[in-house]
Amino acid sequence: MKLKGLVWFFTIALALISLWELSYTWVIRSHEKKVRAQAERLVKPLTTNLSPEAKEALIEAKTQRILDSTKDESIFPIVGT
């Protein structure tokens, strides 16, 4: 029972670290969702006669291109990453 305080300390520390790491996941997913919406807007006028599979492939390619072109931008400005 002497190490009860130490166990609580590590439990709380681990929980805080986990929440911090999950915040990155939330921000990245939000950014990727915005990029995908932008890619869909850009591709929509070009895909009137394409099949759904071809349209999806074009959207994925455009999404990847946008992500590659913005890879040096800071999307989590709190810590500069």
Residue range 6-43, pLDDT digits in tens: 999 999 999 999 999 898 889 899 999 999 999 999 99
Q: Which residue has the higher pLDDT, 69 or 46?
A: 69
Q: How many Cβ atoms are within 10 Å of 62's Cβ, its own excluded? A: 19
Give pLDDT, residue 80: 53
Give pLDDT, residue 74: 81
As a whole number of angstroms, the distance between CA 43 and CA 22 comes to 31
3-class secondary structure, 1: coil
Out of 1-5, 25-29, 38-42, 55-59, least confident range: 1-5
Give pLDDT, residue 1: 65
Burial pattern 34-58, b for ≥16 Cβ within 10 A else e, equals ebbeebeeebeeeeeeeeeeebeeb
Q: How many Cβ atoms are within 10 Å of 23's Cβ, its own excluded? A: 13
